[in-house]
Copies of this chain bind each other. A is one copy, B any other.
């Protein structure tokens, strides 16, 4: 098992949400396990493996337990992987989970959320626990069994926590810097 005690997950910097309200945010998902899937619509590995896996995760768990969130983190071919193209892509692939457009970087091709999570590329799969901490992050093609085990461990953890504990960002294993 590779679930780690991670840092507080950075807020997502998103210019536009599909399949969600404009004020959709990580903070609103506190109390639920979050499966974050960063992709690019023209990335073959994303289309062949990453997105089908995100759809399987969405089908396998109830939305009360786990929320699937997509992030369109474009770091190449910016002109053609724009918001309109993504809208057509989401329509054609019948994706129903929330998908955000990662905000372009300043003076660099890497968009901001991708940078703040130190992602190595696309597809990247990330698990965030009920207290908003990054607990698992994989670039490439994670195994369904290992991903499932990481999800199962996070779902099994106690959801409730005192206000103070939550504020302090502590678990039995240690404390993380508060947001």
List residues of A whose CB falls within 8 A of some B CB: 1, 3, 42-44, 47-48, 56-57, 60-61, 65, 77, 79-82, 84-85, 88-89, 92-93, 143-157
Contacts and interface: CB of A to CB of B under 8 A. Distances in A.
Shortest Cβ-Cβ A-B pairs, 7 listed: A148-B148, A152-B152, A149-B152, A144-B144, A80-B85, A153-B156, A77-B88
The SS class assigned to the A binding surface is helix
A61 B92 contact: no
B156 A60 contact: no
A94 to B, nearest CB: 8
Contacts of A43: 92
A160 to B, nearest CB: 14
Contacts of A1: 61, 65, 152, 155-156
Given A42-B85, A145-B148, 18 more contacts: A3-B152, A3-B156, A44-B92, A44-B93, A60-B143, A60-B145, A60-B146, A61-B149, A77-B88, A79-B84, A144-B148, A148-B148, A148-B149, A148-B151, A151-B152, A152-B152, A153-B156, A156-B156
A80 to B, nearest CB: 4
A172 to B, nearest CB: 11
Contacts of A152: 1, 3, 148-156
